Every structure is written in C-alpha cells, then in structure tokens.
Structure 1
Amino acid sequence: MKDIKWIFVLYSLGAVLSMSAIGIGIGMRSIFVVVLAIVALILIMGNGFKTKARMREQGTL
C-alpha cells in the first residue's frame, strides 16, 4: 500500500452511507429521510472535492 489519504476514505464511506440512506428512505417511504440523505450526500461530496482541490494546490496530493 502506498500513501493512503485516510480523509478521502472517510469521505467516500460517508458518501456510500448517504447513498444507502437514500435507498432506506425510499424503502420506508419517508420523504424526510430521502431529502436529508441527499443533502448529506451533497455536503460530503462537496467537502471531498474541495479538500482534494486544496491539497492539489498545496502540492500534498
């Protein structure tokens, strides 16, 4: 294993859990859970991309 960026592993796990929560919300027929999971997914992925861009600019990626 090379140099693993653990922050990206955490962001990806959070995104996967949010996507799973969307499916669970659909199964529960709960609009609230679906909307909450979509908002969480957007925030998590946005922060992940922002962190990647910041690290690329600093040369630490």
Structure 2
Amino acid sequence: MKNIKWIFVFYSLAAVASMCLIGFAVGMHSIPFGVIAVVALVLIMGNGFKTKKKMRELGTL
C-alpha cells in the first residue's frame, strides 16, 4: 500500500470514466458528446503517460 502512486490511480479512474462516457454518448446517439468524451480520454491518457515519463526521468517512479 505504501508504493501506490495516487496520481496514476486518479488518471486511470478518469480514463475509465471517459470510456464510460463514450458508451453513454453512443447510447444517446450524440455525436458532439461522443467527440468531447474521446477528446477528454486522449487528454487524460496523454497526461498520464507524460507524467509517467517525467517521473521515470526524475527517478521517482
């Protein structure tokens, strides 16, 4: 429990929520809402990978 990187838990939960929103948008037949959900997913996952790279370079991972 002491080695948990909570920022990555947040990023993963936010990415899962975005994926759920994509499914919700498909169910509603809402293209704008789907596009927003996909953009949110890309931004969240991109930030997660960027944070991981930064932490790896600093040696804190």
**Which residue of the partner structure matches residue 9 of structure 1?**
9
CA distance in 1, matches of 2:47, 2:35: 18
Structure 2 gap ranges (5+): none
Name the residue aligned to 1:52. Answer: 52
> Could you tell me the TM-score, scaled by structure 2's length?
0.97
2:27 alignment partner AA:
G
- Which residue of structure 2 aligns with residue 30 of structure 1? 30
Identity of aligned residues (%): 69
Distance 2:4 2:33 in 1: 32
Deviation at 1:2, TM superposition (A): 3.8
RMSD of Structure 2 on Structure 1 (CA):
0.6
TM (norm. structure 1) is 0.97
Where do 5+ consecutive residues of structure 1 fail to align? none
Supply the distance in 2 between the matched residues of 1:24 and 1:4 (Cα, whole angstroms). Answer: 30
